[in-house]
Structure 1
Amino acid sequence: MKTTTRSGRMCLVTGGAVIDVERASAGRFPADPLAVFERWTEFTDWAAGVRTGPPAPEGPAEAPVPEPRQVFAIGLNYRDHAAEAGLTLPESPPTFTKFMTSITGPDTELTLPSEFVDWEAELVVVIGRRADRVSAQDAWDHVAGLTVGQDYSERVVQGAGPVPQFSLGKSFPGFSPTGPVLVTVDEFDDPDDLAVECLINGESVQKSRTSAMVFPVPELIARLSAVCPLLPGDLIFTGTPAGVGHARTPRRYLRPGDDVVTRVEGIGQLHQTCVAG
């Protein structure tokens, strides 16, 4: 099953149609995506039998979860990325947040606040059931689905001392695009092994598979939920593979006019056009 959001309304993607959930369900489910995630099991049971219905509003796809309550992001979760950063593999997932106002849809203009904006292609997990001290064995049962994400990063703000400001450096407006759809876990042959790629102006700058993660999705959910409950609609940016601009010699950052495409196998792609701030 696939869902998306248009004009702030939850939509079901089936075949070639995009269906308005509130209208198709005769009001059983609301238009607000977050409210639907609160009833995810009930919603997926209903959606399994839906093939046609009232069309979604016209307009572009928006973030599958436009206003998540919690956004978790993981650093150094690919071995090759830790190596290019010159850091040892972590013993526990380095965790920060991307503030909610940075969330945006899949096809946008990215306003560059400086000359030091970097890219980080990521698989994003969307929580579908409250997860509180969940085991890794049971973790996938708490996932609504997967989507594509970019963890854009302003490296000067991120690295400003005396302690790094990861959350601020990664939360400028438009720095957290997600989409174009959410895909439920049952749609994948192996949700732990998906291709991830980032292209800039057609050049592949990052390419890996999620099976290369240091902490796979179930382990992330187990470790995060051991500290704080994960709520329906919460996002987990699961980390990026090698190939970021900050680790290159010479360093490379995004420039006005750059075209960034981020892909995850079985889900789709994001597209940002960079413009001057």
Structure 2
Amino acid sequence: MKIVNYRLHQPFATDRVGIIVENKVIDMASASQQQLPVSPSDFFAMGQPAIEKAKEIATNNQHLQASYAFDRSQVTLGPPVPDPKKIICVGTNYADHVAEMGSELPQYPVLFSKFSNALIGPEDAIHKSTATGQLDYEVELALVIGKKASSVKKEQATSYIAGYTIGNDISARDLQKRTPQWLQGKSLDHTTPIGPWVVTADEVKQPGQLDIRSYVNGEERQSSNTRHFIFDIPSLISFISDLITLEPGDIILTGTPDGVGLAMDPPQFLQTGDKVRLEIEQIGEMEHHIVTKP
């Protein structure tokens, strides 16, 4: 099942949670007779009960003929979780990426955070701020947490995942590297696409075996597989939940493979007018243009 955040093409429309069925978007609040919330963030905050109710709706074809089923052409998709409580990112989680960045293999997962001001949807443009001259791309598998997780054992870790989506951990390398802390280069306004939807965990049987790629202006830049994680998904959830209680709707970005612009010879950073496409097996693809920040 594909869960989306959508907005109708009409005045005063607001973000609403829906599911994709046969290329239509079904509104969850209407289809559930208001048992499910309107807000995508509220939907994920409900955790697994909301997802189970949505699955019931997805299997009922009668909803496809209802007034609350919209063609894709009628809506714009936003970030599936537009205002998560936490966005936790994992750095240096592919050995080849560690090597190309001239770093050492980490003994523990490298964690940093983003804020929701950075999030954009699968149909938005990435803003290039004049504060940076080194904007870089990073395709990543992202997890959405489905239930409260604290001190989770590795063996149970995947049961805490609501679903999977694609993230682009856009990084301003000059800002990231000018201090020991990375935050200022990782959370610029309107720079982190998430989407195009959340694919529920039951449909991604082996998240540790997914092909992952990025392209800039049609040129393949990154091509790897999540089997090359240094710290696999159960290890990450267990490690993070020992330190930080994870809540439904929290997002974890799991790291990027080698092939980033900074590591090219010479470095190739994103410029206004560039087009970036991301692909992850079993999830989908996103494509974004780079525009100068208004």
Q: Normalised by the shorter chain, which TM-score bucket?
A: over 0.9
Matched, 1:55 2:69: yes
Distance 2:106 2:259 in 1: 19
Q: Greater shift after overlay, 170-179 or 194-203?
A: 170-179
> Residues 16-95 of structure 1: matches in 2 within 5 Å?
16-50=23-57, 51-52=60-61, 53=63, 54-56=68-70, 58-95=74-111
CA distance in 2 between counterparts of 1:76 and 1:217 reads 14
User: What residue in structure 2 maps to residue 259 of structure 1?
Assistant: 275
| Identity between Structure 1 and Structure 2 (%) | 35
* Structure 2: segments with no counterpart, 5+ residues: 8-14
Deviation at 1:47, TM superposition (A): 2.2
TM-score (norm 2): 0.90
Give aligned pairs, total.
275
Kept after mapping to 2: 8 A contact 1:6/1:56:
no
Is residue 182 of structure 1 aligned with residue 198 of structure 2? yes
The match for 1:5 is: 5
Shift of 1:17: 2.2
Structure 2 CA distance for partners of 1:267 and 1:11, relative to 1, 3 Å: same
Pairwise CA distance, 1:44: 2.5
Instruction: Name the SS for the 2:231 alignment partner.
Output: coil
Q: Distance in 2 between matches of 1:224 and 1:32?
A: 27
Give the corresponding residue for 2:253: 237
Contact 1:149 1:270 survives alignment (8 Å) = no
* Matched letter for residue 144 of structure 1: A
Q: Distance in 2 between matches of 1:256 and 1:35?
A: 35
SS state at 1:108 partner = coil
TM-score normalised to structure 1 length: 0.96
- Conserved in 2, the CA contact under 8 Å of 1:123 and 1:264? yes
Return 5+ residue gaps in structure 1 as ranges: none
Residue 127 (str. 1) matches residue 145 (str. 2):
yes
Choose between structure 1 and 2: higher helix proportion: 2
Where does residue 264 of structure 2 map in the other structure? 248
**Residue 192 of structure 1, CA deviation:** 1.4
Query: What residue number does 2:221 align with?
Result: 205
Find the aligned partners of 2:191 and 2:219 in 1 and give their Cα distance: 21
Provide the rounded CA distance (Å) in 2 between the counterparts of 1:11 and 1:244: 33
Rounded Cα–Cα distance in structure 2 between residues aligned with 1:110 and 1:176: 7
Match of 2:11 in 1: none
Confirm or deny: 8 A CA contact 1:123 1:147 kept in the other structure: yes
Alignment match of 2:115 (pick from 90, 99, 102): 99
Contact in 1 for aligned 2:136/2:170 (Cα 8 Å): yes
Code of the residue aligned with 1:247 in structure 2: it is: A
Instruction: Give the residue type in structure 2 aligned to 1:17.
Output: K
Per-residue deviation, 1:59: 2.1
CA distance in structure 1 between the aligned counterparts of 2:267 and 2:216, rounded to whole angstroms: 15
Contact 1:122 1:148 (C-alpha < 8 Å) held by counterparts: yes
Matched, 1:154 2:172: yes
Equivalent in the alignment of 2:240:
224
Q: Tell me, in whole angstroms, the C-alpha distance in 1 between the residues paired with 2:53 and 2:150.
A: 26
Letter in 2 for 1:117: L
* Alignment equivalent of 1:108, drawn from 110, 117, 124: 124
Contact 1:120 1:152 in 2 (8 A): yes
